[in-house]
């Protein structure tokens, strides 16, 4: 969008593009209102001046075709599930999901030739994601979507993947691209096996050739000493034999180097393994251990008429928590973690728990690197072991020594998980609030693999159905207008 200059090459845009950032309110002034995030503030204010009888030069021309601006904005907000919002409502009072919906509504109202959407489904509940999906299908122009939401990516007909600092275009949706990648990786793996076998065979041949060369050299020496030849002829024969041996040795060495280079180049095309050992043995939860007890529990965000929660959970349960924005999912995790007191009833845990929110601030002070934070937590792992595990999580060697204030959202989430599970008292109950919001797809899949192998109990708030389905959940807890609903997950 012209916000940065490329280090090489050039970027050309044709037509008018509308950009929705991952943090939609970024760059807006303090006190910004709904109309600012809708991208309609200049025309709203022009309309107000005209209605007051105080138009400025250009106001009438600017409003040409936009005289029904208020009605169109109200309709767009209502379609996004925000009918109660007024155009002048301050953004500071709104949730992340509400802000994202407003920004997207502004994009769909813009009439631009193309939309550039950066993680548009972040913070959106199931209803809002359905609305977004419908709007994208109706959009008549171009769309470029940066996303880790696999349900959304299934709807996009062309996939462009950034891998190894290169863009690769695939003429299909995410599932089609994944299938192509699996086939490609299988072919690369087979090629690597073949090259390694060829390298072993060549190594045996070099060894045999070297032995034969030594035997030939010894034989020639015996013949030369017994032959009735003058010194000059003997010298010429010796020089010729040495030159031949040197050429053969050089040829075999070049062959070895070529095979080594081919193996390295082929190996570099393999994608990294997503496996990672996330937990320490102390995270294990026995089947009969009481994990959570809730009796007549009422949340501060619920009205008095909202049904209370009675819940008793034992063993390594794995619960996905779902519900619309504002239903109280994050508040419930706060209560379980002991960070908030219930309005009524009780909520008690029987194991060590760790609450990791989207900012991951509790376990990761901004001034400390993840290695420093783990040192303060008296991790039983050596620095070498920590560096290896952090690398498996996708945290580079230079990242783990930098203050966490400079981490991306995804890096903070992974580092916070490491602190929660690799300290002297690892958590036995993980409370995760939208852990995938800031992770790219490889990191998200790595997190899924790690959480599947986690031996403790797990409670995860997420709107990402693909992510929840991958975690081998034992139950789903839904919070909706009608109350609480706990259901076992079959299979």
Residues, the chain:
491
Domain that holds residue 432: 281-488
Q: Which pLDDT belongs to residue 351?
A: 94
**Distance from CA of residue 455 to its chain's centroid?**
22
Looking at the fold, whether 261 and 299 belong to one and the same domain comes out as no
**Residues facing 431 on adjacent strands:** 355, 459
Among residues 336, 339, 422, 406, which one has the least CA distance to residue 373?
Answer: 422
- How would DSSP label each residue in 309-336? EEEEEESS-EEEEE--TTSSHHHHHHHH
Please say whether the beta carbons of 489 and 477 come within 8 A.
no
Q: Two tokens at 474?
A: 């034992």
Looking at the fold, whether 327 and 467 belong to one and the same domain comes out as yes
Looking at the fold, whether 445 and 466 belong to one and the same domain comes out as yes
Q: The domain spanning residue 123 has which CATH number?
A: 3.40.50.300
**Residues facing 63 on adjacent strands:** none
Q: Which pLDDT belongs to residue 227?
A: 59
List CB contacts of 480: < 8 A, sequence separation 6 or more. 323, 324, 327
Last residue of one domain, picked from the residues 268, 295, 322: 268
Cα distance between residue 341 and residue 353, in whole Å: 16
Q: Which pLDDT belongs to residue 46?
A: 92
Q: Which pLDDT belongs to residue 399?
A: 92
Cα distance between residue 376 and residue 341, in whole Å: 28
Please say whether the beta carbons of 379 and 423 come within 8 A.
yes
Looking at the fold, whether 38 and 132 belong to one and the same domain comes out as yes
The three-state secondary structure class of 369 is: coil
pLDDT < 50 positions in the chain = none
Looking at the fold, whether 250 and 303 belong to one and the same domain comes out as no
Establish if 172 belongs to a structural domain.
no
Last residue of one domain, picked from the residues 215, 242, 268: 268
Establish if 317 belongs to a structural domain.
yes
Q: Which pLDDT belongs to residue 346?
A: 93
Cα distance between residue 62 and residue 50, in whole Å: 11
Q: Which pLDDT belongs to residue 275?
A: 55
**Residues facing 295 on adjacent strands:** 346
Establish if 174 belongs to a structural domain.
no
Looking at the fold, whether 365 and 473 belong to one and the same domain comes out as yes
Per-residue pLDDT tens over the stretch 39-62? 988 898 999 899 999 989 998 998
Angle at 199 between CA 196 and CA 200, to 5 degrees: 90
Other CB atoms within a 10 A radius of the CB of residue 65 amount to 8
Looking at the fold, whether 242 and 335 belong to one and the same domain comes out as no
Looking at the fold, whether 129 and 56 belong to one and the same domain comes out as yes
Please say whether the beta carbons of 173 and 183 come within 8 A.
no
Looking at the fold, whether 125 and 258 belong to one and the same domain comes out as no
CA distance to 13, 110, 115, per residue, from 17 (Å): 8, 9, 6
Please say whether the beta carbons of 310 and 452 come within 8 A.
no
Looking at the fold, whether 289 and 418 belong to one and the same domain comes out as yes
Strand arrangement of the beta sheet that strand 114-118 belongs to: 17-20, 114-118, 142-146
CA distance to 310, 372, 483, per residue, from 346 (Å): 9, 36, 17
Looking at the fold, whether 427 and 481 belong to one and the same domain comes out as yes
Question: Per the structure, how many domains does the chain have?
Answer: 3
Last residue of one domain, picked from the residues 268, 299, 321: 268
Please say whether the beta carbons of 389 and 417 come within 8 A.
no
Q: Which pLDDT belongs to residue 478?
A: 95
Please say whether the beta carbons of 484 and 477 come within 8 A.
yes
Angle at 115 between CA 111 and CA 119, to 5 degrees: 140
């Amino acid at each position: 969008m012209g916000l940065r200059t490329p280090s090489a090459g050039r970027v050309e845009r044709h037509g008018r593009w509308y950009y929705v950032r991952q943090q939609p309110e970024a760059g807006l002034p303090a006190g910004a209102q709904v109309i600012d995030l809708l991208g309609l503030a200049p025309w709203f204010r022009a309309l107000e001046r005209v209605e007051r009888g105080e138009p400025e030069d250009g106001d009438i021309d600017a409003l040409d075709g936009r005289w029904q601006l208020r009605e169109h904005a109200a309709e767009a907000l209502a379609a996004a599930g925000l009918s109660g919002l007024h155009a002048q409502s301050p953004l500071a009072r709104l949730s992340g999901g509400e802000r994202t919906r407003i920004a997207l509504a502004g994009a769909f109202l813009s009439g631009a030739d193309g939309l550039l959407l950066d993680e548009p489904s972040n913070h959106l509940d199931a209803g809002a994601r359905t609305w977004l999906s419908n709007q994208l299908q109706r959009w008549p122009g171009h769309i470029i979507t940066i996303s880790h939401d696999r349900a959304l990516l299934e709807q996009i007909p062309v996939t462009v993947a950034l891998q190894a600092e290169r863009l690769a275009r695939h003429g299909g949706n995410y599932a089609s691209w994944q299938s192509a990648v699996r086939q490609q990786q299988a072919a690369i793996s087979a090629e690597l096996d073949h090259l390694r076998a060829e390298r072993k065979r060549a190594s045996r041949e070099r060894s045999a050739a070297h032995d034969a060369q030594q035997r030939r050299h010894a034989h020639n020496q015996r013949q030369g000493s017994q032959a009735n030849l003058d010194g000059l002829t003997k010298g010429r024969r010796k020089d010729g034999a040495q030159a031949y041996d040197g050429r053969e040795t050089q040829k075999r060495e070049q062959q070895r180097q070529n095979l080594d280079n081919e193996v390295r180049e082929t190996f570099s095309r393999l994608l990294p393994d997503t496996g990672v050992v996330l937990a320490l043995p102390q995270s294990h939860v026995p089947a009969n251990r009481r994990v959570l007890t809730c009796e007549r529990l009422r949340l501060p965000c619920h009205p008095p008429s909202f049904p209370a929660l009675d819940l008793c959970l034992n063993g390594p349960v794995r619960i996905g928590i779902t519900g619309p924005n504002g239903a109280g999912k994050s508040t419930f995790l706060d209560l379980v973690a002991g960070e908030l007191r219930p309005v009524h009833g009780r909520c008690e845990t029987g194991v060590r728990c760790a609450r990791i929110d989207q900012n991951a601030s509790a376990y990761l002070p901004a001034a400390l690197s993840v290695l420093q934070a783990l040192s303060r937590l008296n991790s039983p792992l050596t620095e070498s072991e920590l560096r290896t595990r952090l690398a498996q999580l996708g945290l580079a060697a230079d990242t783990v020594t930098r203050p966490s204030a400079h981490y991306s959202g995804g890096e903070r989430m992974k580092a916070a998980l490491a602190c929660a599970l690799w300290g002297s008292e690892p958590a036995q109950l993980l409370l995760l609030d939208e852990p995938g919001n800031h992770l790219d797809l490889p990191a998200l899949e790595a997190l899924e693999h790690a959480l599947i192998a986690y031996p403790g109990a797990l409670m995860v708030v997420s709107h990402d159905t693909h992510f929840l389905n991958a975690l081998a959940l034992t139950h789903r807890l839904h919070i909706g207008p009608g109350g609480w609903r706990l259901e076992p997950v079959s299979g």
